[in-house]
Amino acid sequence: MSIRYFSTRGQAPVLDFEGVLLAGLARDGGLYLPESLPHFSADELRAMRGLSYTDLATTVIAPFVEGSIDRNTLAQLVEASYTDFRHEAIAPLIQLDHDQWLLELFHGPTLAFKDFALQLLGRLLDHILTRRGEKVVIMGATSGDTGSAAIEGCRHCENVDIFILYPDGRVSDVQRRQMTTVEGDNVHNLAVRGNFDDCQALVKASFVGERFLPDGRSLVAVNSINWARIMAQIVYYFYAAFALGGPDRPVSFSVPTGNFGDIYAGYLAHRMGLPVNNLVIATNRNDVLHRMLTTGTYSRQPIEASLSPSMDISISSNFERLLFDLYDGDAAKIASLMDEFDQGKVALSDAALAKVRSLFTSACVSDEETCEEISRLWTHTGLLVDPHTAIGTRAARQCRRAEEGPMVTLATAHPAKFPAAVARAETGESPQLPPHLTDLFDREERFHTLDNELTAIHAFMAAQCRS
């Protein structure tokens, strides 16, 4: 039986897996969710221990794509997705102290955890499009990590042209070069004369109009609201828990959080049967989720720049998916809550707040504390971590409850991706790019600088699409 997917706001068409992969956002403004989640019993989980990362990924993902992709094909796509990872374990676990661990998710091609989802997403898309005889255009805005991961995931796709918009002069040199030095005649980097919000507004407006592409080609969104991305991220929660004695010993996770995509995947692993004690929402000063958990009010505030830019957000889009569960799947209620939130803020009911607090804890970590934490870890373990990861380990210690068992912090990026922030921690050590990127600064860059102007961008995109 294949799983069907419906919108959190209840007013969009019900779709199969192919449909949600190609849709991204639901037409009613909501986010797609599976009608039912696969569930693994303790015995089934025990039987999954010891599987390699890719075998485990195939087992966990198979039920979600059933009816669209057969198991052998899925196994091949998964295998291909993780061959470019530069660690044999794919997601290695490193011990920090007696019961704190790091799950290193930065061994993929672009050095951030987003590779886990986007390597697979590109292959799933291309496979399905080949079968359907269709071509699509991916359009996305990035302030850093998503753009490069999406480009790396799609550079070999026959049926996908990808356009990534970034604010001209406002992404770090490493991040920009990771996008602009990729070769591929389907890869287009657009440096927009504007800020990140301008880029995002251009992308949003394009999805509403959408009639500017050749041969009725459709636009696909690959930001973290795309269901397929969440799905791919569920796997490493199981993988880490098994290594630490799961399912016979509950594990906790601390997750550096922006859009709530990554940590929501951990919540799903828990709902699929994995014993989890505590899910720590680790935020920087853009703490919309931490404020929600402490005050019960979900309210937006302007974005402030921090040392952990990949978590600089004012809205945590994927939180809507959790809200859906907190309100027992009442789609009409979610639609009205989100309307209220669009006006500025919304108060959670006592019941909803009690539910979220029963599994989640949270902490907000300042730039100064982030530097202290990088320095502390360097002194005590000899490990150099990136600022996002440091927020995770700091929050893990802060939110730990007694007798909790192992706590795993997700190391979301390689420190060499954020050398300036790491330098501020004054460890005396500067992080080195891994071998496949040591010549990053010698490679030729390819990008187009365009005005913050929708019609010009559409004309550019239409002209560049491969036939």
Ligand X SMILES: *Cc1c(COP(=O)(O)O)cnc(C)c1O
Binding-site member from 161, 262, 287, 367 for ligand X (CB under 6 A): 262
Is residue 140 classed as helix, strand or coil in its secondary structure?
A: strand
Is residue 263 classed as helix, strand or coil in its secondary structure?
A: helix
**In this chain, which stretch among 3-11, 60-68, 251-259, 268-276 interacts with ligand X, using CB under 6 A?**
251-259
Residues of span 73-132 touching ligand X by CB under 6 A: 112, 114
Burial of 97 (0-12, 13-18, 19+ CB in 10 A): exposed
- The string over 140-169, giving b where at least 16 C-beta atoms fall within 10 Å of a residue's C-beta and e elsewhere, is bbbbbbbbbbbbbbbbebebbbbbbbbbbe
Q: Which is nearer to ligand X, 54 or 175 (CB)?
A: 175
| Of 114, 135, 333, 417, catalytic | 114
One-character DSSP codes across 373-390: HHHHHHHHH-----HHHH
The question of whether 114 is a catalytic residue gets the answer: yes
- Work out how close the CB of 196 gets to ligand X at its nearest, in angstroms, rounded to a whole number: 13
Q: Tell me if 342 sits within 8 A of 376, measured CB to CB.
A: no
Residues of span 374-403 touching ligand X by CB under 6 A: 388
Binding-site member from 260, 267, 319, 324 for ligand X (CB under 6 A): 260
Residue type for 428, please? G
**In this chain, which stretch among 18-26, 52-60, 258-266, 368-376 interacts with ligand X, using CB under 6 A?**
258-266
Q: Which is nearer to ligand X, 41 or 432 (CB)?
A: 432
Residues of span 197-226 touching ligand X by CB under 6 A: 224
C-alpha pair distances (Å), 411 with each of 145, 169, 391: 14, 27, 10
Rg of the chain taking only CA atoms, in angstroms: 21
- Work out how close the CB of 147 gets to ligand X at its nearest, in angstroms, rounded to a whole number: 10
Q: Smallest Cα–Cα separation from 282: which of 151, 146, 373?
A: 373
**In this chain, which stretch among 153-161, 170-178, 198-206, 260-268 interacts with ligand X, using CB under 6 A?**
260-268
- Work out how close the CB of 132 gets to ligand X at its nearest, in angstroms, rounded to a whole number: 29
Binding-site member from 143, 259, 286, 427 for ligand X (CB under 6 A): 259
Q: Smallest Cα–Cα separation from 26: which of 8, 1, 47?
A: 8
Residue type for 231, please? M
Residues of span 282-341 touching ligand X by CB under 6 A: 310-311
Binding-site member from 257, 278, 283, 427 for ligand X (CB under 6 A): 257
**In this chain, which stretch among 152-160, 186-194, 255-263, 348-356 interacts with ligand X, using CB under 6 A?**
255-263
Q: Is 63 in the site for ligand X (CB under 6 A)?
A: no
- Work out how close the CB of 158 gets to ligand X at its nearest, in angstroms, rounded to a whole number: 27
Q: Tell me if 246 sits within 8 A of 274, measured CB to CB.
A: yes
- Work out how close the CB of 262 gets to ligand X at its nearest, in angstroms, rounded to a whole number: 4
Site string for ligand X, 343-372 (x = CB under 6 A): ------------------------------
- Work out how close the CB of 393 gets to ligand X at its nearest, in angstroms, rounded to a whole number: 13
Residues 6+ apart with CB under 8 A from 313: 258, 259, 286, 288, 303
Alpha-carbon span 106 to 91, nearest angstrom: 8
**In this chain, which stretch among 56-64, 209-217, 259-267, 335-343 interacts with ligand X, using CB under 6 A?**
259-267
One-character DSSP codes across 297-314: EEE-------S-GGG--S
Binding-site member from 18, 115, 126, 145 for ligand X (CB under 6 A): 145
Q: Which is nearer to ligand X, 114 or 400 (CB)?
A: 114
- Work out how close the CB of 104 gets to ligand X at its nearest, in angstroms, rounded to a whole number: 12
- The string over 191-222, giving b where at least 16 C-beta atoms fall within 10 Å of a residue's C-beta and e elsewhere, is bbebbbebbbebbeebeeeeebbeeebebbbb
Active-site residue set: 114
Binding site residues, ligand X, CB under 6 A? 112, 114, 145, 224, 256-262, 310-311, 388, 412-413
